[in-house]
Structures are given as C-alpha cells and as structure tokens.
Amino acid sequence: MPLDRTWYNTLVDDDGSNTVGTLWNKAAVDSLLDAVDAELVDTVPTALTTTGTVHNWAPGLHGDTLTRWAGAADLVVTGLAGGLAGQRWRFRNTGTAVAYFGHNNGSSLFQNRLWNTATSQATPVAPGGALTYEHDGTQWWLVAHEQGAWITPTYSGANFTSNVGSWTVDAGDVTTYAYRLSGKSLTVSWYLQATSVTSTPTVLRIAVPGGFTITKAGLFPLVHDDAGAGNAGSFCLVNPSGTVIENYKAYGASAFANATNTTRLFSTITFEVN
C-alpha cells in the first residue's frame, strides 16, 4: 500500500537560501514515521452493524483490514469498494445474524465484485464465522472461509414437496433443517417429524437450503418412519444441476403410505455444489 502523503504534501522545499522551506527536525521525522507505521499495521479493526443489501460496500479499508460485523439483521454484500492489488480484507461475524457475499454480482462495479469458491449462490458467514478476500488488481477473490454456526433457513412449506399428491411439513414438524458450506461442499442435516402425506408418492423432496445448485450425482443413507410403522433404512439422492434432495422409501416404486402427522425422515449428507 502507498504511504498516506497528506502530511508529506505540506512540506516546502528550501530554495537554496536556507531561509525558506520546512524545518527538518524531530517532529517532522516523527510525522514521517507515523505515516510509515500506519501502513505497516496489519489490520485496522472496524466495528460495523450495517444490514440489508449493500452494493460497492465501503467498510473503511486501510491497508490489510479487519472488519468486525455485529449486525442484528442479515447483510447482503455484492461488492467491496476501494481494493488495490495485493490488499486483503478480513471479515468476522460477531453479531447474531448472517452476512452473505454474492459471487460476481452485477449490482456492484466490476472492480469491486467478489469471486467465490461456490458460485451458484452467495457465500454465507454465520455468527462466529469469518472470511478473507484478496484483491488481484482486478477483483476480490475469496481465499479463506469458515461459515461459523449452522444456518437454518426461514421456514417455508414450499421447501417440502412430493412427486404426486402432497407432503405437508408444518413449521412445528421441523426439528432440524440446517446447512454448512465449506468450499464447494454443502452439508445438509434434517429431522422432520409428524409430517403428512397424501396420494402415496414415491419421492419426498427437500429443497437444497441456501438455493445452491448440485454439481454431481450422489446416493446417501436415509432413515424414515413411514406412517408410524417404525424406523427403517432407505436412501436419498441428489442429481446434477438439481436443487432438491430426493428421499425414497425403498428401491423400485415403493410408495410412502398416506399419513396424517405420522411420517418422519432424518439424515445428514454432504455433496458438491456449484
């Protein structure tokens, strides 16, 4: 980073007469050293509570900067203003909400945009989490990310569907529905109980939380209780370019029985996302 030349630009050269010009004394040397020290500081901690959606965010960059964020509501950042080649910006969530950082979002200027590892949705930083971006002279690149706490999406019945009929998962039926992102790996955990099923569907679908898109096919174990018949093992799968996790009762065309508040599903799986 270049030195702050505000003080330096106030200096006046001597014209050779030794009667004009800025006196070079201890105070002047101290001012110069202060400017050097300011640029050698690794981080300048900044406490912010910004919320909502922010384009070309300017959190107060000064050399390699650490921003501590203590927001009480979610923050969406589409770009970071003021980056120079080699500069690093570190963000730490000390608040109670989630900060999301969008990938190559056109709402911010090109030189301020963020380039993430997972590109299909914004990279989240939950309470206790942190990330680091580095500017390459063109854009900001994500070089480190720890999500922090697991994220539970806001309840929506539309996240739970079936291939025929209906699968009703009420808010009170959701014991667990949460996710963690690490690089391109998304881990999803769910424990859904007392749900209802109609028209004997063969597939119960759960939306991939965070809105990420699946990269590769995967087959994973699932435990279900079909209409109160007791726990049994089966499988769930994800498909390339998909946005849902498909839960099956068994191989073949075996259907889930019609049920009122007696069907349960639970599993934890990890798969690659775009």
What CATH code is carried by the domain that includes residue 77? 2.60.120
Mean pLDDT computed over 143-162: 98
Nearest to residue 108, comparing CAs of 133, 71, 145? 133
> In this model, does residue 230 exceed pLDDT 70?
yes
- In whole numbers, what is the pLDDT of the chain averaged over residues? 92
Whether residues 188 and 254 share a domain: the answer is: yes
Boundary (domain end) residue, out of 146, 169, 199: 146
Boundary (domain end) residue, out of 92, 116, 146: 146
Whether residues 206 and 246 share a domain: the answer is: yes
Confirm if 221 and 235 have CB atoms less than 8 A apart: yes
Whether residues 163 and 263 share a domain: the answer is: yes
CATH code (residue 239): 2.60.90
Whether residues 139 and 182 share a domain: the answer is: no
Contacts by 68-71, CB closer than 8 A, 24 or more apart: 68/92, 68/94, 69/93, 69/94, 69/95, 69/99, 70/94, 70/95, 71/95, 71/96, 71/97, 71/99
Whether residues 240 and 166 share a domain: the answer is: yes
| Residue 65 domain-assigned (yes or no) | yes
Whether residues 268 and 161 share a domain: the answer is: yes
Q: Which is it for strands 140-146 and 65-69: parallel, antiparallel or unpaired?
A: unpaired
Query: Which amino acid, residue 126?
Result: A
Whether residues 165 and 141 share a domain: the answer is: no
Using one digit for the tens of pLDDT, what is the confidence trace for 95-137?
999 999 999 999 999 999 999 999 999 999 999 999 999 999 9
Note the pLDDT of residue 20: 78
Name the pLDDT band for 1 (thresholds 50, 70, 90): very low
| Residue 2 domain-assigned (yes or no) | no
> In this model, does residue 209 exceed pLDDT 90?
yes
Whether residues 33 and 66 share a domain: the answer is: no
Note the pLDDT of residue 55: 98
State the total domains in the chain. Answer: 3
- The Cβ-side half-sphere exposure at 87, using a 13 Å CA radius, reads 25
Nearest to residue 37, comparing CAs of 29, 45, 26? 29
Whether residues 167 and 252 share a domain: the answer is: yes
Note the pLDDT of residue 212: 98
Nearest to residue 161, comparing CAs of 193, 121, 195? 195
Please give the residue range of the domain that contains residue 54. Answer: 46-146
